[in-house]
């Protein structure tokens, strides 16, 4: 997993609530047996017209947001299906940070396993970020995971909460399974105490 530390990048505003994982990566792409290559299908049904051309209305296709790696959205982002293909697609497309008032639990959890940082902010703070993105073409945010702060060049300074353990894993690109297996003795002891095995 690629470590994530400080990140100053273009912001893409997706002014929608309840963006579900079926929209992030539609079902026809879940048949792949790989973990990679999902970025080309990200938001497929919104991003492409029926003839396969880009939908110019969709925010991902607007040239001013090309190359954005911070996605700003409204509440309950990532709801619905548990498909980890959704964070795979977002990360593969180039997103590293997601900001919304709330995220669905399973999606939120899946993000951390894939080097994506989901940041929860108050609804009013998210509203302010949408306004700033609209007011300043080429709007960028600097996300500092180590210090849990978000700043911009226009005087904004916010702090966000992130669980210390998850931050540690993201900063260092650590693998959960290896960490758990360091506790193998505890697992074996639990199994023995419960007559498992």
Partner 1 sequence: MKAENVPRTMSEKIWDDHVVHAQQGKQTILYIDLHLVHEVTSPQAFEGLRLTGRKVRRPERTVATVDHDVPTTDRLLPIADPISKQQIDTLRRNCREFGIRLYDLHDENQGIVHVIGPELGLTQPGMAIVCGDSHTATHGALGALAFGIGTSEVEHVLATQTLLQYKPKTLEIRVDGRLGFGSTAKDLILYLIGRLSTQGGTGYCIEYTGEAIRSLSMEERMTVCNMSIEAGARAGLVAPDEATFEYLRGKPFVPEDFDAALARWSRLPTDEGASYDRTETFDAGDIRPQITWGTNPGQVVDIEDKVPNPADLDDPTDQKAAAKALEYMDLSPGTPMTSINVDRVFIGSCTNGRIEDLRAAAAVLHGYRVADGVEAIVVPGSGLVKREAEAQGLDRIFTEAGLEWREPGCSMCLAMNPDKLEPGQRCASTSNRNFEGRQGKGGRTHLVGPAMAAAAAVAGHFVDIRQWDYK
The reply to whether 115 sits near partner 1 by the rule CB under 8 A is: no
Closest to 25 in 3D by CA, of 102, 110, 97: 110
Sign of the dihedral through C-alpha 159, 161, 164, 167:
negative
Binding range to partner 1, per CB under 8 A, among 60-68, 133-141, 143-151, 178-186: 178-186
Tell me, by CB under 8 A, how many residues bind partner 1.
53
Binding range to partner 1, per CB under 8 A, among 89-97, 133-141, 146-154, 161-169: 161-169
Query: d(Cα 138, Cα 11) in Å, to the nearest integer?
Result: 8
The reply to whether 106 sits near partner 1 by the rule CB under 8 A is: yes
Q: Which residue number, 146 or 163, has a Cβ lying nearer to partner 1? A: 163
Give least dist CB 53 to partner 1, A: 15
| CB neighbours of residue 98 within 10 Å | 23
Give least dist CB 16 to partner 1, A: 7
Site string for partner 1, 116-155 (x = CB under 8 A): ----------------------------------------
Angle (deg, nearest 10), helices 164-172 and 105-112? 40
Buried b vs exposed e over 130-162: b needs ≥16 C-beta within 10 Å? bebbeeeeebbbbbebeeeebbbeeeeebebeb
The reply to whether 54 sits near partner 1 by the rule CB under 8 A is: no
């Amino acid at each position: 997993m690629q470590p994530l530390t400080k990140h100053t990048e273009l912001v893409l505003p997706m002014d929608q609530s309840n963006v579900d994982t079926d929209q992030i990566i539609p079902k026809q792409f879940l048949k792949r047996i790989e973990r990679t290559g999902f970025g080309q299908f990200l938001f497929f049904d919104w991003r492409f017209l029926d003839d396969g051309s880009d939908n110019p209305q969709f925010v991902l296709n607007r040239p001013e947001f090309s190359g954005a790696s911070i996605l700003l959205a409204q509440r309950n982002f990532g709801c619905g299906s548990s498909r980890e293909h959704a964070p795979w697609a977002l990360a593969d497309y180039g997103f590293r940070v997601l900001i919304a008032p709330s995220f669905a639990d399973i999606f939120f959890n899946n993000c951390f396993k894939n080097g994506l940082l989901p940041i929860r902010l108050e609804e009013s703070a998210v509203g302010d970020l949408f306004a700033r993105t609209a007011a300043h073409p080429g709007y960028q945010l600097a996300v500092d995971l180590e210090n849990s702060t978000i700043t911009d060049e226009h005087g904004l300074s916010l702090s966000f909460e992130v669980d210390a353990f998850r931050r540690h894993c993201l900063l260092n690109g650590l693998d959960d399974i290896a960490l758990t297996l360091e506790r193998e003795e505890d697992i074996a002891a639990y199994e023995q105490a419960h007559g498992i095995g």
